[in-house]
Amino acid sequence: MLNHYETVFIVTPVLSEAQMKEAVDKFRKVITDKGGEIVHEENWGLKKLAYPIRKKSTGFYHLFDFKAQGDLIQVLETEYKRDERIIRFQTVKMDKYAVEFSEKRRTKKEETEKIKEE
């Protein structure tokens, strides 16, 4: 049985767009190579941090919503710690209510984007 997880990580702002995408691709590959299935992915872009981290006041935020075995989380978080481009990360196991809320949030966001396009 696959568990549902959500991970958010912050990439250092000194990277170029290509370097940032390379970092995101690396973690997407870690998840899929270890048998995980990415359900949803969001790039939140460059955001101001609540407090400075490693003398940085901004960072690129990225979210993965995925299904995987529990042992994948240890591997993923070890990769986050080894990569100097990642300044913060958090992974949470989602219960059925959190999954439901996440799906509702996504559909609502998609509907508002469709309205904006029209």
- pLDDT at position 38 over 80: yes
Cβ-contact 76, 31 below 8 angstroms: yes
Residues 39, 44, 45, 49, Cα dihedral to 10° = -130
Q: Is the pLDDT of residue 118 over 80?
A: no
CATH superfamily of 3-117: Ribosomal protein S6/Translation elongation factor EF1B (3.30.70.60)
Which tens digits make up the pLDDT trace of 48-90? 999 999 899 999 999 999 999 989 999 999 999 999 999 999 9
Integer CA distances (angstroms), 94 to 13, 21, 77, 100, in order? 28, 26, 17, 10
What does the domain layout of the chain look like in residue ranges?
Answer: 3-117
pLDDT of residue 115: 80
* CA atoms of 73 and 40, how far apart (whole Å): 17
For a pLDDT cut of 70, what percent of the chain falls above it? Answer: 100
pTM above 0.75, yes or no: yes
Per-residue model confidence as pLDDT tens digits over 3-13? 999 999 999 99
On average, the pLDDT of the chain sits at 90
